[in-house]
Structure 1
Amino acid sequence: MQIWRAVRAIPGWVYPLAVGVLLLLLPTLGLGYAMTRQVQLACILALVVSGLSLSLGYAGELALGQAAMYAAGAYTAGLMSEHGHTDLALQLVAAGAVALVVGIVTGIPGLRLGSWSLAMTSFFLVLLVPDIIAVFGETTGGRNGLSGIEPATLFGQVLTPEGFYLVIVLVTVGWFAVTRNLVVSRHGIAFRTLKQSPVLASSLGVSVFRMKVLGYAIGAFPAGLAGALFANLDLYISPEAFGFTFATSVLAACILGGAASVYGAAIGAAIMQFGPNQASDFQEYALVVYGGLLLVGGVLLSGGLARIGKIAVGRLDRAADLRPAAGAPTGDATTTVDVAPIDGRPLTIDGLGKAFGGNQALRGVTLSAQPGQVTALIGPNGSGKTTTLNMVCGFYRPDSGRIHLGDKEIQGSIPYRVARAGVARTFQTPNIPDEVSVLEAVASGRYSTARSSMAATVLRLPGFRRVRAADRAESMRALELVGMAHLAGETASALPLGMRRLLEVARAVVARPQVLLLDEVASGLDEDEVERLADIIRGLRDAGATVVLVEHNFRLVLSLADRIVVLAQGEVIADGAPAEIEHDPRVLGEYLGVTVDDDTALTREVTS
């Protein structure tokens, strides 16, 4: 275990860097031409697979279009070379840009239609690639292929085979560094959140459609780079290299290596290139082999080889006592919670109506929530409480009525715009992305409050560093607020239900929202956690936030609420102070299921 402790003390980036240096030095170690070529092909394949991993493993968009982007990059570089533009740096930029454009143009229709549409449109795109090349045969060489590609140059000098090998390795290592910087940043967490739930992503201020297009388009860029390198490797390209078989091999490598892993793409590509691609007469059985690998990677190896490695590392960490065990939230439940001042805004709902088919979910609901107050929205199951919150957040469009946030009408607004306007919420069922830490899960709540561009993120510019430092500092404050700072490095989705609910509260308040919607947040909490939650809500109220609390715990509602609105069958049946609501005969009958004769006994119970 001492050896393992020493290994884990080494920064994680050292290992991929060492592999990159080893690849660069391979030709000096006497590597033959055949093996050198296989390494080059593996690097090229890893670039294509990396793009698929980004769109599938992180953004959750299944597509086979990387083969088409690969072809676009290869033919762009080949045609540039035929017209005298042999500089490889220029070809790489142009090929990447063309692949990016192809990704955006072909991705938008499928992403707009949603569901499996992107997978189907990209599938048909790959099938059409040979025919598209044949249609423009006079330029592309048609089905006979494009020959006459001149040897690549770099800054005016013709690249030797050794020099071209170094370029391929450097481009591959550079792209994986870019991918790593992206996926471990707030943008990577946004991609994972989108994969988990578009509803959750939009509630955090993420533009779902834009993020989907961005993930698919960025995934197209390395395929373009790979195409340019492939075109200059043999100085000849043909349509058969970019067909359905290649697309399937990319998908198989991605699943086998681990789609949600930066370096899983390299692992999967290496296995494919040095494994089945080496077999004689392989093309005849390629689809069968790739199909088998997809079954193995998708069923028997859920998460790919990268996940197996992560599980093994986790077990060794626990054996070496390197990971703290999850415990209960820290802090005294009776301690007053201090929250920085929040500029709350009034939330006004007037005459809200909504029907789903023949079911009238809401009828003329009116509600007013003020800054510095807790407004409770209670009622029996099916009364329309969550539907009301969903319409405030923009997930449903009201059939009638108005919703104002301050002086601004927000009914019918796109969900991510509502979130950016200052509305945050929790959900009845805690919604936490897989494979993110507690700190990262909370930090995702700040995605729309502070901006850091993709370029700044990839290059680690000062602007990115400032935003990252602010994200971490504010997230730790939010975790301290809910008593979970000691769990910052734990996997968020592995926490018990009560802790995940408190984690959602931390994620909702980290950006200091003007309006906070809490949907049955006390459900599943033990007594100490409920007390902690009550202190947190009081602290948010005293800080100036507008809090709307949907809750079935009537005792908690009475102790927290400044005003209570009661729904039954989609209508407001009572609206007033807690002292009024707890004695209202209709509330007692509709919500608590007791008669007026039981009023005195009930009062003693909820106030004891």
Structure 2
Amino acid sequence: MTPTATARTALAGWPIVVGLVCVLPWLGLSGATIRLVTLIAILSLVVSGLNLTLGYAGELALGQVPLYAAGAYATGYIAINVVNDLLVCMLVAVVLAVVLGVVTGLPGLRLGGWALAITSFFIVLLIPSVINIFGDRLGGLEGLNGIPVPAVLGVELDGNAFYVVVIGVTACWFAVFRNIAVSRHGASFLVLKQSPVLATAVGTSTFATKVTVYALSAAPAGLAGCFSAYLDSFLSPSTFGLELAIVILAASILGGATSVYGAIVGAAIMEIGPLRITAFDKYSLVAYGAFLVVGGLLLRNGLAGVATRIGRRAAVRIGSRTAPADAAPTEAATVDFPAVQGLPLTVVGATKRFGGNVAVDDVSFEAEPGQITALVGPNGSGKTTLMNLISGYYTLDAGTIRLGDQVISGLRGHQVARRGVGRTFQTPLIPEGLSVQDSIITGRFARHRVSLLATALRLPRHWRALDAERRLSRRIMRTLGLTQQADTRAADLALGTRRMLELGRAIAGGSSAVLLDEVASGLDEDDIHGLVRVLTGMRDAGITILLVEHNFALVRALADRIVVLAEGRVIATGGPDEIAAHPEVLRIYLGQGGEITGTRIAADRLDSAVDTALDNAKADRA
């Protein structure tokens, strides 16, 4: 992801802020204030993990409390019975929390939405019972006493030294969190949040991504548990209850669930406000519920979202004052897509049944590289089902599908995408929170990978990949005419621009074959001009294009070969003129005078628009 100006400013000021917070004990602040800052740091660690799962990945896995408790009790037990070393306890707490994070997150691989949330809350309710099972070893329901003063390599840490360690470790985690959030991995989490189908289409395994999120979000909760155990030298199972889970959720929503530093803001609000007021205890659940309702309804992405919107409006005002009066969007440059080694897409005897209904019945055809092959037919003829079979979303009942020499039928959707099959959708799927440039880059993730470790630590491999991604995305944006909108929120774009963006995403992945599902639906005349220009450029680049489209005038003008489906079977295959004159096609598909659907252009204007666009595309190539 491309960092915004606000993010770059925050990054530059982060070491200064951390340094100032670290020296607070030597500036004369009271012990109570230092303890409060420590509690804010501990709670912010736990909230940041929830921000990863809920805010970035969209998973209602609200099980941060068990992970927090695991880190705390592991630290208490080891410090009392094994070795009192803060570094050892931190390591064990993190490892245990990560393992439990993956295990308790397993329901999320099958469940979703509120079913997953309820499962998470149920796990929270089990904490006292689980602790009581271990009896004296963990203190049972009476609590674990006698946790010693923290030490490192045999040297005890006084209160100020422990405080500095807590702040330093918290700061390091947030630096790592930030690096991940504004990277390709953070973008992949947002893609998953938008749609598991979209994640699959760009070659991301939803299983692997969810497991990564669960493991990653557990690490700060384990650290927080370790620090909490040493801070109070006592642990009680009643601390790790449903109320704490609601506090964490409220802090996430108030601070901003899709914000890195919003976790700190939300934690500070909860620690300085309601958690400090003794009289608040009586009405705590009611107040937390009010926080959740107000934050969820009135504050989109919490206070961080408010700050972002204010900053964006200020930037727009400044930009409008400084921009020249005659500034206008730049026209798209000559088509210059990266050359692709297109591969033939071969479908042989494809059959798919849903119960007693045969949706696709023994369909065979071949789409060649550097050509546009169109699938047309009336609604319910099996076009989209066939696209889903090719994409790996459905499993064939009979037949095979090959891309080049590889059999891709039977592979999972993300595996098909990694083999080189790109995809667009009837309704464009564009993740919230990504810019135009970031959205295009998401198409590259599956086939050009960078490890999470290289990204988090900003190793050379990360910078090389980032440089290549930016150069490629700029080239594609220039070709699509989107250069001036590179930093615009992609989800806010007009329909035609979002369709272009999906094409750019497929091209960025270097797909050998691209499946286009009603890509002209809802477009106006100007959009059709741009679409024709891009599709002809993709064909010239060598990509195998399979186009599902109701707009027969567009199909006839663009397609090299047309396959006509009716009731799940192929009724005709041939060139555009041959299909347009085919008696069976005329009867079934064009029997009402060839009326064009799925476009805002009147039929009598469409041919002219397409012809003009084709002439422009030819001029570009010349």
Preserved CA contact (<8 Å) 2:59 2:113: no
Q: Which residue of the other structure, out of 30, 33, 46, is the alignment partner of 2:31?
A: 33
**Segment of structure 1 superposing worse, 523-532 or 251-260:** 523-532
**C-alpha displacement of 1:382:** 2.3
Q: Which residue of the other structure, out of 249, 272, 276, is the alignment partner of 2:270?
A: 272
Tell me the amino acid that sits aligned with residue 166 of structure 2.
I
Q: Deviations over 1:232-287 (max 9, x none)?
A: 10111111111111111111111111111111111110000000001114333322
Q: Which residue of the other structure, out of 235, 248, 251, is the alignment partner of 2:249?
A: 251
**C-alpha displacement of 1:213:** 1.6
In structure 1, what is the equivalent of residue 155 of structure 2?
157
CA distance in 1, matches of 2:374, 2:477: 24
Do residues 433 (structure 1) and 451 (structure 2) align? Answer: no
CA distance in 2, matches of 1:167, 1:324: 48
SS in 2 for 1:396: coil
**C-alpha displacement of 1:396:** 1.4
CA distance in 2, matches of 1:112, 1:381: 32
Preserved CA contact (<8 Å) 1:342 1:514: yes
**C-alpha displacement of 1:353:** 2.0
Preserved CA contact (<8 Å) 1:112 1:209: no
**C-alpha displacement of 1:605:** 8.9
Tell me the amino acid that sits aligned with residue 170 of structure 1.
G
Preserved CA contact (<8 Å) 1:111 1:117: no
CA distance in 1, matches of 2:50, 2:156: 32
Q: Which residue of the other structure, out of 455, 458, 462, is the alignment partner of 1:457?
A: 455
Q: Deviations over 1:29-80 (max 9, x none)?
A: 2111111111111110000000000000001111221100001000111111
Q: Which residue of the other structure, out of 220, 236, 239, is the alignment partner of 1:238?
A: 236
SS in 1 for 2:319: coil
**C-alpha displacement of 1:23:** 1.5
Tell me the amino acid that sits aligned with residue 79 of structure 1.
Y
Q: Deviations over 1:572-600 (max 9, x none)?
A: 1110011201111222232223469xxxx
Q: How does 1:558-573 map to 2 (within 5 A)?
A: 558-573=556-571
Do residues 291 (structure 1) and 286 (structure 2) align? Answer: no
**C-alpha displacement of 1:401:** 2.1
Do residues 309 (structure 1) and 301 (structure 2) align? Answer: no
Q: 1:330 to 1:581 in 2, by over 3 A?
A: farther
In structure 1, what is the equivalent of residue 134 of structure 2?
136
**C-alpha displacement of 1:207:** 0.4
Q: Deviations over 1:391-443 (max 9, x none)?
A: 11011122222211222222232100000000001111111001111000000
In structure 1, what is the equivalent of residue 577 of structure 2?
579
CA distance in 1, matches of 2:524, 2:34: 61
Query: What is the root-mean-square deviation of aligned Cα atoms in Å?
Result: 2.3
In structure 2, what is the equivalent of residue 420 of structure 1?
418
In structure 2, what is the equivalent of residue 391 of structure 1?
389
In structure 1, what is the equivalent of residue 597 of structure 2?
none
SS in 1 for 2:278: coil
SS in 2 for 1:532: helix
Preserved CA contact (<8 Å) 1:110 1:121: no
Q: 1:535 to 1:300 in 2, by over 3 A?
A: closer
Q: Deviations over 1:291-338 (max 9, x none)?
A: 11111111222321111111111111112117989x987435xx7523
Do residues 105 (structure 1) and 103 (structure 2) align? Answer: yes
Tell me the amino acid that sits aligned with residue 92 of structure 1.
M
SS in 2 for 1:12: helix
Preserved CA contact (<8 Å) 2:440 2:501: yes
In structure 1, what is the equivalent of residue 331 of structure 2?
331
In structure 2, what is the equivalent of residue 202 of structure 1?
200
In structure 1, what is the equivalent of residue 18 of structure 2?
20
Preserved CA contact (<8 Å) 1:59 1:192: yes
Do residues 52 (structure 1) and 50 (structure 2) align? Answer: yes
TM-score scaled by length of structure 2: 0.91
Q: 1:269 to 1:336 in 2, by over 3 A?
A: closer
**C-alpha displacement of 1:494:** 0.8
Do residues 375 (structure 1) and 373 (structure 2) align? Answer: yes
In structure 2, what is the equivalent of residue 500 of structure 1?
498
In structure 1, what is the equivalent of residue 619 of structure 2?
none
Instruction: Report runs of 4+ in structure 1 exceeding 6 Å deviation.
Output: 7-10, 322-325, 602-605
**Segment of structure 1 superposing worse, 37-46 or 579-588:** 579-588
SS in 2 for 1:191: helix
**C-alpha displacement of 1:105:** 1.4
**Segment of structure 1 superposing worse, 497-506 or 383-392:** 383-392
Tell me the amino acid that sits aligned with residue 309 of structure 2.
I
CA distance in 2, matches of 1:477, 1:593: 44
CA distance in 2, matches of 1:275, 1:324: 44
* Number of residue equivalences: 595
**Segment of structure 1 superposing worse, 518-527 or 546-555:** 518-527
Percent of residue pairs identical: 50
Q: 1:56 to 1:604 in 2, by over 3 A?
A: closer
TM-score scaled by length of structure 1: 0.93
CA distance in 1, matches of 2:413, 2:167: 43
**C-alpha displacement of 1:177:** 0.7
In structure 1, what is the equivalent of residue 479 of structure 2?
481
CA distance in 1, matches of 2:46, 2:605: 68
In structure 1, what is the equivalent of residue 83 of structure 2?
85
**C-alpha displacement of 1:528:** 3.3
Preserved CA contact (<8 Å) 2:41 2:167: yes
CA distance in 1, matches of 2:215, 2:288: 25
Preserved CA contact (<8 Å) 1:353 1:365: yes
Tell me the amino acid that sits aligned with residue 358 of structure 2.
Q
SS in 1 for 2:65: helix
Q: 1:354 to 1:374 in 2, by over 3 A?
A: same
CA distance in 1, matches of 2:6, 2:86: 39
Preserved CA contact (<8 Å) 1:65 1:126: yes
CA distance in 2, matches of 1:367, 1:383: 15
Preserved CA contact (<8 Å) 2:334 2:479: no
